[in-house]
Amino acid sequence: MAKALRIFVLLFILFIIGLGIAAVALFVASDGNPVRFVQTELIRLSLASRQDELDRPIGTDNTPQRFTINSGDSPGTVAQALYLQNLIRDASLFVDYLRVEGLDTELEAGTYFLDQTQTIPDIAYTLIDSRNSSITFRIFEGARIEEVAESIDANGLFGFTGQEFMLVAQRGFVDLPEFAARYGIPTSATLEGYLYPETYILPPAITATGLRDTLLSTFSTAVDGQRLADANAQGWTMHEIVTLASIVEREAVWNEENPIIASVYRNRLEIGQTLDADPTVQYGLQNSRGTWWPNITQADYRNVQSPYNTYINGGLPPGPIASPSLSAIEGVIYPTETDYYYFQAQCNGSGYHNFTQTYEQHLQNSC
């Protein structure tokens, strides 16, 4: 009996010592602030009775929502924003959890993607690591699909390669028949021209198909409505508009010239003249000269055997050659009324062009 009592006393003493060590550790973690220490322990006791609330997400919708923490945002500000976006039920509970876990000073500024299936602990630990934040990705005006794929690889944050995206892009609109029908896109077309140029903030877990859907959705938002109606009223499909706009995009340096350059090409089409657009020859050359947009020679005009070469093929090429900006698209839908059929880059390197009605006038503008 005496031996058992001694063992009990020893265990009790060890228990008290353990509590003391834990208390000291927590006190140190509280920066030696006794008031904060007591408050944190009271919160810890409160959270113990609310574990089910911590572990229960607010909903079942796993649609990613963009959530931004700005530099200097307090835990309370972050919690209130989460509450207003319907990502958590209780802002105070979120703040209490951050404090007890020592995360209230660890929140990192950035743009994250959260959803309603995440619990408070899930969200808290997501927001302390900027590696969980968004991917910033830019598609430049006038880029072709291969250049977009190269940008994916150069970015380094995507969970798929540029080649994997190329496979999705080359598959085109096979599984998007409604999109293709709306814009008059042939079922054989790739995504060329429809990877809308923009700076995107993307969720880190986005897939190649998800990126495709985001780019196409942004395109639709830009061109739907009056622009689409006006194009159709002129007898043009949006696919035809985008095709010509992609050429205008590659020709123009300054957006203000887009509707004038577009007028030249539309004037040529109206009289059955070939477009004679240098970018279509470049497109036909692919990457055969170490760049996607190589310098071309007079011989290339006739020697590049490609359905995209508008020096040897009449009308529009089979499809777009690059991603046009909204400015280029609008330039084709709403061209300036001119009697121009030719244009030549000015010799001063400004990027502007001289426009003329006749070929003889055009030759006079040669540098």
| Same domain assignment for residues 260 and 344 | yes
Sequence-distant (6+) residues with CB within 8 A of 162 are 148, 149, 150, 151, 152, 153
Amino acid 139: pLDDT:
98
Among 25-34, 227-236, 249-258, whose mean pLDDT is lowest?
25-34
Residue 312 in contact with residue 182, Cβ under 8 Å?
no
The number of residues in the chain equals 367
| Same domain assignment for residues 163 and 272 | no
Quick one: pLDDT band at residue 365, thresholds 50, 70, 90? Answer: confident
No. of helices (H) and no. of strands (E), the chain: 17, 6
- In angstroms, what CA-CA distances link 206 with 28, 64, 201, 253? 41, 10, 11, 33
Amino acid 32: pLDDT:
52
pLDDT tens by residue, 23-37: 555 555 555 555 566
Q: For residue 172, is it within any domain?
A: yes
pLDDT tens by residue, 171-225: 999 999 999 999 999 988 999 999 999 999 998 889 999 999 999 999 999 999 9
| Same domain assignment for residues 71 and 49 | yes
Amino acid 204: pLDDT:
85
Amino acid 111: pLDDT:
87
Q: For residue 6, is it within any domain?
A: no
| Same domain assignment for residues 122 and 204 | no
Cα–Cα distance between 217 and 113 in angstroms, integer?
A: 18
pLDDT tens by residue, 102-146: 999 999 998 898 999 999 999 999 999 877 788 999 999 999 999
Instruction: Determine the structural domain holding residue 315 and report its residue range.
Output: 237-367
| Same domain assignment for residues 98 and 182 | no
Amino acid 187: pLDDT:
85
Quick one: pLDDT band at residue 16, thresholds 50, 70, 90? Answer: low
